[in-house]
Amino acid sequence: DGGITQSPKYLFRKEGQNVTLSCEQNLNHDAMYWYRQDPGQGLRLIYYSQIVNDFQKGDIAEGYSVSREKKESFPLTVTSAQKNPTAFYLCASTKDRANTGELFFGEGSRLTVL
């Protein structure tokens, strides 16, 4: 079955540590996205990528980094510079670069900083 796989589902990290969240898709979609969701709020865009080896900052990119070396993969690194990293992180994709269509989501990664 095609879809988006995020790992790990749950992650605990100590303050000051970097952590990388994995996102893999086998939908052959061009564009991929990372969102953050805090309790009681909607999703906020962190980074997005429309093609391989290219990505753009979203609304809340500070303290995060991404790479897009392969079409299928779009990992997100939460760095120690991110002041409040505890959140639910969602990876998504859209079929084409027009980016006006349906977002397909992974099941999310829940990060807790201890």
Question: Closest separation between CB of residue 49 and another protein, Å?
Answer: 8
Asked if 108 is part of the footprint of another protein (rule: CB under 8 A), the reply reads yes
Name which position in 27, 61, 75, 88 contacts another protein (CB under 8 A): 88
CA distance 19 to 60: 17
- Cβ nearer to another protein, comparing 27 with 45: 45
Long-range contacts of 95-102 (CB under 8 A, 24+ apart): 95/27, 95/29, 95/30, 95/31, 96/29, 96/30, 96/31, 97/30, 97/31, 97/50, 97/51, 99/31, 99/48, 99/50
The DSSP letter of residue 73 is B
Structure tokens at 67: 């790479």
Closest CA relative to residue 37, chosen from 107, 101, 102, 93: 107
Asked if 90 is part of the footprint of another protein (rule: CB under 8 A), the reply reads yes
Asked if 51 is part of the footprint of another protein (rule: CB under 8 A), the reply reads no
- Cβ nearer to another protein, comparing 71 with 110: 110
Asked if 15 is part of the footprint of another protein (rule: CB under 8 A), the reply reads no
Name which position in 13, 27, 44, 86 contacts another protein (CB under 8 A): 44
Q: Enumerate binding residues for another protein (CB under 8 A).
A: 31, 33, 35, 40-45, 48, 50, 56, 58, 88, 90, 97-103, 105-108, 110
